Structure formats: C-alpha cells, structure tokens
Amino acid sequence: MEYVNLGRSGLSVSRLCLGTMNFGPSTSEDDSFTIMDRAHELGINFFDTANVYGWKQGEGITEQIVGRWFAKGGERREKTVIATKLYGSMGDWPNDNKLSALNIRRACDASLKRLQTDYIDIYQAHHIDRDTPFDEFWEAMEVLRQQGKILYVGSSNFAGWHIAKAQEEAKRRNFFGLVSEQSHYNLLTRAVELEVLPAAEDYGLGVIPWSPLAGGLLGGVLRKIDKGRSAAENMLRELEKHRDKIERYEALCDELGEDPAHVGLAWLLHQRAVTAPIIGPRTIEQLEGTMRTLEIKLDDKALARIDEIFPGHRPAPEDYAW
C-alpha cells in the first residue's frame, strides 16, 4: 500500500479510502467487521463514514457498526484514520441538522459516542450550509479541536469559492482550516475540474472522490449484463444516456487487459490533487479485487484516449474563455 499526506497536513493516509455507507443497509455487521479487518491487512488505514449513514433518522447505524468494531480492540482504532460527516438531519427538531455551532457540538458528541472513541481524525461538513457564516463554523470547530475531540476539518460538496471563503476566514482566525474536500468526481462527472480541484490544490486540500465509478456505470456494466446479471431500472436509464461512451470505454479496458472498475479508479489516482478515491465494497471479494487498482499505471496514450471518450475540463476561466 502507498501512503500520502492528506493535503498540506502531515497526516498519512492510504491511497484508497474505505467507504462504509453500505454497512448496515447492504452489508451485515459481521461482514462489515470482516471487510474492515481485511482492509487493515491490505494496508488501508483511511475509513470514511457519516452520521446519517444507515438511513434511519437519528440512529447513526453505520457509525455504531464502526464503533462496535473499534471496541473489539486489537489496535483497530489506533490504526484507523476515521473521517465522519455532519449536516444531514438527525431528528425532526430545529437545530438537528446543518452547521450551526449548536448542531456541530451536539453532532460531534453523538458521533463520538456511536464510534466509541474520544476523538475524530477528520470531521467533515457533508454539505455547504448557506445559513451559517464561516466565522461561526470555524469558532465551533476550534472549540472541538481545543477539547481534543477532532484533529482536522474537511468539507464535502463545496464549490471552489466556498473553499476559498472558508480558507480565508480560517486564515484570518489563525486556524489551520480545511484539510480535505470530498467531491463527486469520476469519468462521467468532471465538473469539479473547473474550479474545485484548482482551489483545493492552491489551498492545500486533499481531494477524496466519492462515487468514483458513477454508481457502477464505470464498473463493467455491459460485461455484467452480457453475462446475464440484472441491473436496476435507474442503472439501465443511465446506461442508455451514456451507452456509446461506456461501450468505447469497456473496449479500451479490454485492450488494456484490465477491469473497467480498476481503470476508473486508477484514472482518478492519476489526477492532480486527488488523495484517495472512496471505495464502497459490499463483499470481501470486491475489496480484494480493488487492490489491483494500485498496480495500474496509465501512460499518456491511454490517458489521452480516456479523455477522448470522457471529455474533461480545463481550469476556469480558460475552459470557457481565453
């Protein structure tokens, strides 16, 4: 396993991040434990979760599963860089969501309890809160850091100008600011290349792509259908929108002799500012198969052909102006 610093920080994280969103809804607790143990054996030390995962309001099911795994001991907590998120609604009462100082305090304490730990390595805003000013956001995060409850702060789904505004406010307060941005980024979704990636790189944030395989569209969907695998209706609708691109992409992967899922992840690892794509295995076999990604080196010719299939963006303003 290769390790890199997360953004401008001194924190070392694996080049693949284990996403836990399937733990509970799709993957049993026992299987989730097995996947997390195997991730450690493979050298993955970076895990991502959120207080809303599990999708039963207020319960934090996925965080609870991770917490019970930590409680098994064996240095599971010490070997894990755990990132969790807040913003989504955890109740029906006012201030049970978003990024007010009140919710930040309550949400952090609740996540710590569910995770059965006394600190969170990276505490992430799951979305921008347009109703809360950044001076309030940073004051609340500063208090948590002073209390030893969090070490770093990250963002998710921020625009480039949100990152700039957050970092300038943090700088004014002499605070370290954001260390990471978790963005929707894959071969089919490249809008972040316009301003989010340049902002993250300039301000020293590591980028953590979510949905790196576009919900499975980049994971060899045509191959699977040809082999008789069924696909959900929403997947089939998306496939029809992008069929030409997916056909050309899977043909290129055949030429390379690699699985489309592995090529899609490897492509992300070749992009500037990207620290670690979030992988979300539902089974141990999916986790182990993903390790092939780290061995794939795409040359300039292969990268150029991928860009022909899935045109990307130059940084703004050159993408749309001179």
Active site (annotated) includes residue 53: yes
Single out the catalytic residue among 3, 53, 203, 320. Answer: 53
CB burial of 79-103 (b: ≥16 within 10 Å; e: otherwise) equals ebbbbbbbbbebeeeeebbbbbbeb
Report residue 231: phi and psi, to 5°: -135, 145
Rounded CA-CA distance 94/150 in Å is 24
Rounded CA-CA distance 277/245 in Å is 22
Structure token digits, residue 158: 């921020």
Structure token digits, residue 116: 């059965």
CA dihedral 54, 62, 217, 195 (to 10 degrees): 100
81: β partners: 46
- In this structure, the strands spanning 12-14 and 3-5 are antiparallel
Q: How many CA atoms, within 13 angstroms, populate the side-chain half-sphere of residue 83?
A: 28
Rounded CA-CA distance 13/121 in Å is 11
Identify the three-state secondary structure at position 240. Answer: helix
Rounded CA-CA distance 120/11 in Å is 13
Selection from 61, 204, 85 nearest residue 150 by Cα: 85
Q: At what angle are helices 233-256 and 300-309 packed, to 10 degrees?
A: 150
Which DSSP string corresponds to 107-141?
HHHHHHHHHT-S-EEEEEESS--TTS-HHHHHHHH
Report residue 190: phi and psi, to 5°: -120, 15
Active site residues per annotation? 53
